[in-house]
Amino acid sequence: MKTLSIYHEWIPRVGGIESAVYNLAKVLSKDYKVYIVYKGCEDPMSLFRYSDVADVVQVESREISTDFCLVASNHQIHANLKAKKYLQWIHSDYAKYKIGRLKNGERISQYVAVSEHSAKVAKKLYGVEPVVIQNILDPDFPVRKNDGFLRLVTNSRISYEKGFDLKTLRAVKFAKGLQDAGIKFEWIIYGDNSTSR
């Protein structure tokens, strides 16, 4: 069986990348031996969830070698992380994060973006051509019967770059747009505003 490591340098308690890493590992674990590799985390208890779908390894504790390594964001590949092929996940609009350059350069065989927009931004900023693979929804996610009511769930840090800032209020504008369009909806937001690191 082929092996795959997903490297996420810093794992916060909750957020979109954390859900994306979990869901991706869960789907790929059917065909690969999956390792979720990290350098540090905000809350060690959050690692237990990952252990349901992958082996969880702190990169500084030992060397790990896999066939493929997906760097889950713009993190420098740790010296203890070896792979035959490296991919880098572009998981957000890097123009908004003001990321000066892509790390890892020639070591990356392929860039993977989560949306057409983030792929277009990466091409404009860095001249790379990412393959677009939308975020994967957990295949076991419960789906309720559609009763004409739009149900939205957000799992995110409550922070500026996620649209929860007081200046632009993107999240509020989105909800107001749904209301103005006469769309009945329920929007549940899970997250925290922790900034410790």
pLDDT confidence of residue 196: 42
- Express each pLDDT in 77-112 by its tens digit: 999 999 999 999 998 888 888 888 999 989 999 999
Residue 41 has pLDDT above 50, yes or no: yes
Whether residue 143 is contained in a domain is answered as no
Q: Are residues 103 and 162 in the same domain?
A: no
The number of folded domains in the chain is 2
Q: Are residues 22 and 116 in the same domain?
A: yes
pLDDT confidence of residue 161: 67
pLDDT confidence of residue 92: 83
Which residues, 6+ apart, have CB-to-CB distance to 83 below 8 Å? 5, 65, 66, 67, 68, 69
Q: Are residues 93 and 175 in the same domain?
A: no
Which residues, 6+ apart, have CB-to-CB distance to 13 below 8 Å? 42, 43, 46, 192, 194
The answer to whether 56 touches 72, Cβ cutoff 8 Å, is no
Distance CA(176)–CA(167), nearest Å, equals 16
Whether residue 197 is contained in a domain is answered as no
- Express each pLDDT in 114-162 by its tens digit: 889 999 999 999 999 999 987 777 777 666 666 778 888 887 777 776 7
Q: Are residues 100 and 166 in the same domain?
A: no
Average pLDDT of the segment spanning 51-66: 95
Q: Are residues 123 and 164 in the same domain?
A: no
Whether residue 172 is contained in a domain is answered as yes
Query: 185 - beta bridge partners?
Result: 150
Last residue of a domain, one of 86, 105, 132: 132
**Taking the CB of residue 90, how many other CB atoms lie within 10 A of it?**
26
pLDDT confidence of residue 197: 39
Whether residue 17 is contained in a domain is answered as yes
Q: Are residues 121 and 184 in the same domain?
A: no
Q: Are residues 68 and 95 in the same domain?
A: yes
Q: Are residues 27 and 91 in the same domain?
A: yes
Q: Are residues 120 and 181 in the same domain?
A: no
Last residue of a domain, one of 90, 106, 132: 132
Whether residue 155 is contained in a domain is answered as yes
- Please state the separation of Cα 35 from the chain's center in Å: 15
pLDDT confidence of residue 155: 76
Q: Are residues 21 and 80 in the same domain?
A: yes
Q: Are residues 122 and 27 in the same domain?
A: yes
pLDDT confidence of residue 166: 65
Q: Tokens 């993190």 belong to which residue?
A: 75
Distance CA(16)–CA(164), nearest Å, equals 14
- Express each pLDDT in 184-196 by its tens digit: 898 888 777 655 4
The overall average pLDDT reported for the chain is: 87
* Nearest C-alpha neighbor of 2 from the set 37, 35, 33: 33
E strand map for the chain: 2-7, 10-11, 32-38, 40-41, 55-58, 64-71, 81-90, 108-113, 131-132, 150-155, 185-190
* Nearest C-alpha neighbor of 34 from the set 7, 10, 55, 57: 55
Q: Are residues 65 and 160 in the same domain?
A: no
Whether residue 10 is contained in a domain is answered as yes
Residue 160, domain extent? 150-190
Average pLDDT of the segment spanning 42-65: 93
Whether residue 142 is contained in a domain is answered as no
CATH of the domain at 93: 3.40.50.2000
pLDDT confidence of residue 113: 93
